A and B are shown apart, each in its own frame.
Chain A
Amino acid sequence: AQTVTQSQPEMSVQEAETVTLSCTYDTSESNYYLFWYKQPPSRQMILVIRQEAYKQQNATENRFSVNFQKAAKSFSLKISDSQLGDTAMYFCASEPGTYKYIFGTGTRLKVLA
């Protein structure tokens, strides 16, 4: 079965500091996509970053970067220079070529002033 596991239910970080959110996944597919989505209290899921499994280079988007370890099936998100607006639920998701996303249970991140 395809699964995504986020083992950190809650995390907090001081403003301007760096935080890393963990995610592991399981898939038998050779080509797939991985995502991090942010869900603020407004409820809208916002795409943070996307990684294609066949690309070895880790994706980056401004202050957000990933550490993609394909052999270990690990896909962590690093947020640098954390801002108050980063406070949200963060969901890791995989898309194993079936067009349906498989989400983890989320990590609630709180950025402290």
Chain B
Amino acid sequence: ETGVTQSPTHLIKTRGQQVTLRCSSQSGHNTVSWYQQALGQGPQFIFQYYREEENGRGNFPPRFSGLQFPNYSSELNVNALELDDSALYLCASSWSPGSPLHFGNGTRLTVT
């Protein structure tokens, strides 16, 4: 079975720009969660999607938004980038909202 893949691996953006990060979930997993991991910190929950609907959200502003597609792919969109958005963004998929997460390798976003 294929694992969770994320693209791109690294990304550099300028403050104020918009960015889209992509994730391909493990086959059969209908739940995807996104986490932000700042340098030296543990991951923080952004939101979760289950069967293409948002199923929970952490303490992140509305400029963080997401989409989940029927083909097990998903996107994280961030508008009006700020310097503090610089972090590793992790995508994780699971069979259902409560089952163990399988993580991808992350996208390292740098905002200058």
A interface residue numbers (CB < 8 A to B): 4, 33, 35, 37, 42-47, 50, 91, 93, 95, 97-106
Assess the A44–B106 pair: CB atoms within 8 A: yes
Whether B100 is near chain A, meaning CB under 8 Å from some CB there, is yes
Residue contacts A-B, CB under 8 angstroms, 13 given:
A35-B100, A42-B105, A43-B105, A45-B90, A45-B92, A45-B103, A91-B43, A98-B56, A99-B48, A99-B56, A100-B58, A101-B35, A103-B43
Closest to B106 in A: A43
Bound: A33/B42 CA distance, A = 17
Bound: A39/B53 CA distance, A = 29
Assess the A105–B41 pair: CB atoms within 8 A: yes
Q: B38 to nearest A CB, angstroms?
A: 10
B interface residue numbers (CB < 8 A to A): 31, 33, 35, 40-45, 48, 55-56, 58, 88, 90, 92, 97-98, 100-106, 108
Bound: A102/B58 CA distance, A = 10
Assess the A104–B56 pair: CB atoms within 8 A: no
Residues of B within 8 Å of A104, CB to CB, are 42
- Determine which of A33, A46, A50, A101 lies in contact with B43 in the assembled complex, contact meaning CB atoms within 8 Å: A101
Bound: A93/B97 CA distance, A = 16
Bound: A99/B54 CA distance, A = 12
Assess the B101–A47 pair: CB atoms within 8 A: yes
Assess the A99–B105 pair: CB atoms within 8 A: no
Answer whether A103 and B44 are a contact pair too, CB < 8 Å, given A35-B100, A45-B90.
Answer: yes
Q: What 17 new A-B contacts, CB under 8 Å, besides A43-B108, A99-B56, A100-B33? A: A33-B98, A37-B103, A42-B105, A43-B105, A47-B100, A47-B101, A47-B102, A91-B42, A99-B31, A99-B55, A99-B97, A99-B98, A100-B48, A100-B56, A101-B33, A105-B41, A106-B42
